[in-house]
Every structure is written in structure tokens, then in C-alpha cells.
Structure 1
């Protein structure tokens, strides 16, 4: 079997050396080149034709984001970003994922050498996933309306679903490729939709920036979940990195439970934990969504949700960056509908409206 060819791009000679060593220790991959800046990397990509590149976020001569943007427009290929655990590092990394990077590795701000060595398994796993991922080209600018202004978005509301918004909760699970997939679902939800509770596999230090980014883009309010807070309609709650998120009932209200604990399916936060709580606490008032991601986290629990009466949507293979978690959910018999990403929010809204109509007819 041919080895996965990797080019490392990082301005630190030490980091280049360590990443090269980690990659070359793997029997299924090899580092065919290491560049100190994007200009050198550009020539290496042309001559070496790598399968994957690792790219530092902050680079000399050309910003890492500028390089990534050009690369994804002109020669789309799998990219794993190497980020720093800082607030700016998180914001830049989220932009990189928006531009088409497959995933990222968060290196510590201090003790970088030891930190990267401790992340060796994570780094090589992400390179393997990236090598097989579906590549997205950099998004084209939105078409402008007459006169050069952007076309206004058509306002959408749930259209008189009454008290249903307070009874229903939408649960989303995602991993690799999921930051953008989740965004694509949330930006198409109306401000008065039911609460949305989300577990996206992300490390500590990144989920707060991710929630803030979504809050600025969506009609609903989005925040990092806090333990014990009431779950409200028209709001989205992101599981904090490094903690499990679940829901509980407190009288007539749903509340968020944010807790430490052992990883589940190697993940913390874990989709399995969130979906099990959905089945136990919300039952037939839950709607489940499984988006792109590697592995099987949440698949079995999504079947438990379905058995408890939930209605579940699963992203199809063609629109997934990685068709791992959705494939496992389908295989487990957890899916009611398998849809392209762009159809999930409209079908979800349609489902809620039809459910509201049935409720009104029974009154």
C-alpha cells in the first residue's frame, strides 16, 4: 500500500523536525518535505505532490490563512492546521476550517516540543482522516443583488407553532468537518425555533470562540453551555471543550448539565453522552441530527433516541467531509431521513411545522 505523503509547513525548525519524526515513524505515511514558509511550501507542493499538508496558522512572508485561501481555490487538497492554544489561535483556526481545512491540532503555547510529542497519536490520526476526506473548495463570494448590494436573506419563522418550541429540543452531534456543517444548519434556523444543543468534538479553548462566531452569524443566540442553566427556545448551546454536555429536567424546564468525566468513545465532549440524555429526558420531543465526523461516537445513542420516539436526520455521504459517524448511525438503524447537508434545516423546519399542525388538530 502506498504511503500517505505529507508536507510539513511551519516556521519553527524544532516543530518541523518533531513533526517529521512523528510522521516518519508511521508505517503508512512519510514526510516528503518540510518548509519554513508558504512560499517554499508552494514549490514543494508543485514538485512533491503531497497527499496532505500540515500548516502552521501564523507564518512569515505570507499569512497562513492567505496561503490556505489561495491553495483551496487553486489546488484544493487536505490540510491539517497546527494552531496555538490562544484566543487568537482559536479564531484563526475557525477561519481556516471555514476556508476548507479538514481539521486542526492545538499545540501548547509553552512546552511546544513535549506538547507536540504527546499529541503524536492525535496528529497522525488526523492526517489519516484528512487523506481520505472529501475536499471542499474555498467558498465563492455570495452573489450580489442589483446595485452591488448583497441579496437580503428571506426571513423565516416557525409560523405559529405555539408552545411546541418550548417542548421540543434539537440535538446535534458532529466531529471532523462539523464546525462548518453545524454552522450551515444553524444559520438556516429561525429565531423562534426550539432550543438546539450541540456536541462538536473540539478541545478546550476553542468552543467559546466557536460559539461567539456562530452567535454573530445566526438568527438564534448561540453560547457555550454552562452547568445548570435553563435551556431556552431560540438559543443554541455548545458543549465546552473538555466537558460532557447533557440535559436534565427540572420541573417544567430543561437544564444543561456540564460535567467532567472520563472520555466516552475517546471523546470529551462525547455525542454519546448528549444523545443518551436526549433519549432519557426528552424522548419523543427530541429531534436528532448527526453530521459529518470520523468514528462512531453517538451512533448507538442515536438509535436509543429513535427507540424513545425522536425523529432523526443524518447527513448523506456526498456532503460529508468524513462519512464515519453518519454511516454508523445509519447502520445502527437510527436515521429517519438521510439528507444532503443543505436540506437538513428546511426538512427540520417542515417536520416541526407538520408536528405543530397535528398538535393543533388534536385540540
Structure 2
């Protein structure tokens, strides 16, 4: 098996050396070069033709975001961004996701992270996953978002029209119960969430609970970015939030998102209990908690991501009460791991391209 050829881009010589050493220790990776800024990176990508690029977000001369846009247009290559948790760093990271970056890894302690060993395993996993990604799909997704960042805000009558027979049968599935929408995603998730949440009307008759695998420090920026694009209100979930219709609550990085009953209402409960499937927040934890909302019918969505998080939680949902489940198709998933695992449970009601998931959700109302 050929080794995955990696180019490392960072303005810090120390970080270039450290990342090179970490990745160079892996038997399935060959570090073929380094670059000190985006301009240098572009030249070396053309010359060396790496399989994957790791790239710092904040650099002089040409930063990671500018370089990424050029890379995806001139010589499309899967890129894993390395980002600090500063506001500028997190904002630029999500801009990079929209511009076609495969995924990102958070530097544990800023631009010069002496404790970079903490993310060694994650970096290796994401580089290997990026090497298997369809770069043209990444580029296509970036172009679609770039062309129509707010095109999802208004819904035409044609889009909302569902054949009467289908609409009637789908309405009856919930037995008249109130509904809650629950979404789980990982690698490729920010783009998928943007596509789905911007497709939901502001007056949707359900709350939305979301787990996006993400480290602490990034989910607040993700929620703010999505809130600026959506008709619904999107926020990072906080302990004790009253769960209300028309609001999407995103699990904060480092916390499991659960629900609990308080008098006649359901509220958000966050905790730092043990990791599940290597994640906190975990989709399984969310789905299992929401399964306790007996008076609600559940619409579960599992989208792009590595691993199988969400599949066990889906089984619990289907064992209790009324539920429908949607999985993202292989055709639009950046990584088909989580949707594939969910489909393999034989509990998925429909498989949809990401652009059609919002419509599928609305079809259940």
C-alpha cells in the first residue's frame, strides 16, 4: 500500500518540525515537504502533488484561508486546517470549512503549541480520512455554498408542496404528538448543517437539538455563524435552556447534550460524563436522552462523519415511542461512516442527499 504523501504548512519552523516528526512516525504517511505560508504552499503543491495538506489558518504573506481558496480552484487537494481557539481563528476555520477544507484540528494551546502531542492521534486519523476523500466533492460543496449563501432563506410553494397522499400518511406517523428534531454529524458537518438548517422555516413547529463533534472553543462560533444565515434561531446550548420551537441548540464542545424534565417543560442539561465512541458531545448520548421525551415524536437525522456515533442511540429511539430517521446519502457525505452505520441498523426511513434533508424533515409535519 502506497504511503499518503503530506505537505505541512505553518509559519512557525518549530511547528513544522513538530508536525513533521509526528506524522513521519506513522508507517502509512510520508511527509514530502513543508511550506512557511500560503504562497509557498501553493507553489509546492503544484510541484510535489501531495495527497493531503495540513495548513495553519493564521500566517503572514498569504494566510490559510486565502491559500485554501486558491488551492481548491487551481490544484484541488484535501486540506486539514490547524487552528487556534481565538475568535479570529475559529471564525476563519468555519470560513475554511465553507471554502472546501476537509476538516480541522484545534491546536491545544495556541499558535505555538508545545503540547501538540495531545492531538497527534486526531491529526493522523483526519489526514488518513482526508486522503480517501473525494476532493471534487469538497470543491463542489464549496462552490455551492459560495454561490448561494442565503438562497435557502425563502421557500417556494413548489418546494414545500408534497403530494397530498404522501403528506397525509406522513402526518399521521406521530399520532398528533409534538415533535423534536435531533441531528448528529461529525467530519464535514458544518457545511451539512448550514445546508439543512438554512432550509428550515423560522416558524418550524419543533425544537432542534444538534451534536456536531467539535472541540471546546469552536461551537460558539459555529452557532453564531449559522444563526446569521438561518431563519430559525441557532445558539450554543447552555445549561437550563428552555427547549423551544424554532430554536436549534448546538452542543458545546466538551459537553454531552442531554434533556431533562423541569415541571411541565423540557430543558437542556449539559454534563462532562465519560466520552462515548471517543466523543464528548456524543450523538448516541443525545439520542438516548431524547428517547425519554415520551410525549414527543422524534425526527432523527444522521449526517456525514467518521465512525458510527448515533447508531446505538437510533436503536433506543426506535424502541420507544414514535420516531422517523433520515440518513445522508453516500453521494453527498464527505465521510460516509456515520450515515452508513445508521443505514446498516435497518432503522432508517429515508436516505437523502444533503440538499434534500430539510425538505424531508418538513415532509414529516
TM-score by length of 1: 0.89
CA contact (8 A) 1:185 1:345 kept: yes
Give the corresponding residue for 1:17.
17
CA deviation map 1:93-133 (0-9, x unaligned) = 01001111111111134593432122111111111111112
TM-score by length of 2: 0.89
Stretches of 4+ aligned residues off by more than 6 angstroms: 155-159
Aligned to 2:258: 246
The counterpart of 2:209, out of the listed 170, 173, 197, is 197
Separation (CA, whole Å) in 1 of partners of 2:244 and 2:291:
18
Query: 3-state DSSP class of the match of 2:81?
Result: strand
Q: Relative to structure 1, is the Cα distance of residues 327 and 143 closer, same or farther in structure 2, using a 3 angstrom cutoff? A: closer
Partner of 2:299: 287
Alpha-carbon RMSD: 2.5
- CA distance in 2 between counterparts of 1:232 and 1:248 reads 13
Q: Structure 1, unaligned stretches of length 5 or more? A: 145-149, 353-363
Report the Cα distance in structure 1 between the residues aligned to 2:252 and 2:120, rounded to whole angstroms.
23
Aligned-partner Cα distance in 2 for 1:195–1:151: 19
2:108 corresponds to which residue?
A: 108
Is residue 177–residue 296 contact of structure 2 (8 Å, CA) maintained in 1? Answer: no
* SS of match in other structure, 2:292: helix
Q: Which residue of 1 aligns with 2:57?
A: 57
CA contact (8 A) 1:204 1:241 kept: yes
Q: Distance in 2 between matches of 1:104 and 1:183?
A: 17
Match runs of 1:1-363 below 5 Å: 1-110=1-110, 112-135=112-135, 136-137=138-139, 138-139=142-143, 141-142=146-147, 153-154=154-155, 167-193=178-204, 194-282=206-294, 285-308=297-320, 309-352=322-365
SS at match of 1:85: coil
Q: Are 1:105 and 1:123, in contact at CA under 8 Å, matched by a contact in 2? A: yes
Q: Deviations over 1:139-184 (max 9, x none)?
A: 155379xxxxx8983468999x9xx999211000000000110111
Deviation per residue, 1:249-278 (Å, 9 max, x gap): 334322111111111110000111001112
| Residue correspondences, number | 346
How far off its partner does 1:248 sit? 2.1
1:166, 1:233 within 8 Å by CA — same for their partners in 2? no
